[in-house]
Structure 1
């Protein structure tokens, strides 16, 4: 497997806060998207998303080349569970999913010639995007768009709304607090979603794409690239266009957050392009 190009940029100026990660060692290539806690959870001075990302990166570096999808994700999940146990947090995390260290990922396995995609991380293969956008996210994105459009109805400009976005995000966070109730839930509903958080069990939630014989080009990306393209340059140009046209991220690129003042984008972003 050959690495063609890569990119990793946090949305904030302090890159230590970036919850995305990239991995490549010739056997595996991966992008990891650590999840921001809606409860603002910090552990040992790091966000829960950063901790999840770092733990998963460490696990990927230890995997034998022939590791199956289930064994790879199980190892990542167990690393998170062990981290809780060592800090006497396992029962707390079991009771409150909103506090957990969690992440999504997309992985290329050279030996197995497979791509594994969990959640809204993305894989671009032969012009086809593989990802899973959660219904609960769509609901929250539409709710935030409604809040913004309600302000536009009052006659406020987008610039005015941007200056008072914190109030909209606060209202949204009150609703998003319910989201974690559906995280790796035992009772499956239309809003259930599955993520690596130390309690992941539903391997059917992972998309597995077989690459077949012969060289194949694969692009992996986090959802910080709303329009993942076949090259890094095209992906960056597309993102820049979206941020110019819709910095509040409530039109074409609906999100639960927009481009905040002082940030370089609406979300952390990671990109890997490889030939397998």
Structure 2
């Protein structure tokens, strides 16, 4: 495998980047550490950064021919063992909001397969692959409703951009329910979703893309690129166009947060284009 182009950039130079990139001769991966509203006591780094770093370290030691299930068991176990070394396993089991978690899109060179968990993305042979979580759609629609209500009440878009707390504080009350559905993929739950957080065991939720013998390039990316394109330049251009046209992120593209005027983007972003 050979890197054609790559970028891993935080949304602000003043914040640690919760995204990560990995590539060696056997695997390539983009990792998106999950932001958390409830950091673990005694930790100086965010939960997303902790999870990202644990997965990056795990990828270095994977057997070249590891299967999908073997790989995701190892990734998940790296976080679970981290709890054990800090006597945090019981607390993490009781409260999902405390858990470092992450999503991933990765390529196995030996198996010529792409594996995707969560809302990370891939492009292969002209086809876009990702997973949309029902609970994210619900939160995004709820935020859109709150923005539209504020506009009806006379607030300007510019005012809402300068004072994001007017929307986010109300949304956060609703988002506290989200952790109840983390790795709760049982029965008829509409809103359950998988996460690599030390408690993942829903291997059927991993997207598997089998590459053809004539496949030459693959793009892996985090959800910091709302409109993923075959080149980094195109993907960056689409992102800039979106942020100019809809910085609140509620019409052209719905998100759970808008663009902070002090930041370079609304989210951390990672892009990895490789030749296979």
TM range (shorter): over 0.9
Partner of 1:132: 131
Contact 2:33 2:48 survives alignment (8 Å): yes
Partner of 1:59: 58
**Cα pair distance change 1:256/1:136, threshold 3 Å:** same
Q: TM-score under structure 2 normalisation?
A: 0.97
Q: Which runs of 5+ in 1 are unaligned?
A: none
Deviation (angstroms), 1:148? 0.6
**Cα pair distance change 1:42/1:165, threshold 3 Å:** farther
Deviation (angstroms), 1:186? 5.5
Deviation (angstroms), 1:41? 4.6
Deviation (angstroms), 1:8? 0.4
Deviation (angstroms), 1:43? 5.2
Partner of 2:220: 220
Partner of 2:112: 113
Output the CA distance in 2 between the equivalents of 1:159 and 1:99: 34
Q: TM-score under structure 1 normalisation?
A: 0.97
User: More displaced, 197-206 or 180-189?
Assistant: 180-189
RMSD (Å) for aligned C-alpha atoms: 1.2
Partner of 1:165: 164
Output the CA distance in 2 between the equivalents of 1:120 and 1:215: 23
Equivalence map 1:134-213=2 (5 Å):
134-185=133-184, 187-188=186-187, 189-213=189-213
Deviation (angstroms), 1:215? 4.0
2:272 is the alignment partner of 1:272: yes
**Cα pair distance change 1:71/1:255, threshold 3 Å:** same
User: More displaced, 3-12 or 31-40?
Assistant: 31-40
Contact 2:10 2:268 survives alignment (8 Å): yes
User: More displaced, 3-12 or 151-160?
Assistant: 151-160
Contact 2:247 2:259 survives alignment (8 Å): yes
Contact 1:98 1:180 survives alignment (8 Å): yes
Contact 1:220 1:271 survives alignment (8 Å): yes
Q: Size of the alignment, in residue pairs?
A: 275
**Cα pair distance change 1:42/1:252, threshold 3 Å:** farther
SS of 1:14's equivalent in the other structure is coil
Q: Which runs of 5+ in 2 are unaligned?
A: none
Contact 2:103 2:117 survives alignment (8 Å): yes
Contact 2:185 2:193 survives alignment (8 Å): no
Output the CA distance in 1 between the equivalents of 2:93 and 2:111: 33
**TM-superposition CA deviations, 1:189-208 (whole Å, max 9, x none):** 01000010000000000001
Output the CA distance in 2 between the equivalents of 1:57 and 1:87: 19
SS of 1:46's equivalent in the other structure is coil
Contact 1:59 1:75 survives alignment (8 Å): yes
Contact 2:185 2:202 survives alignment (8 Å): no
Output the CA distance in 1 between the equivalents of 2:129 and 2:261: 32
Partner of 1:234: 234
Partner of 1:260: 260
SS of 1:74's equivalent in the other structure is helix
Partner of 1:91: 90
**TM-superposition CA deviations, 1:52-93 (whole Å, max 9, x none):** 000000000111211111111111100100111111110100
Deviation (angstroms), 1:42? 6.2
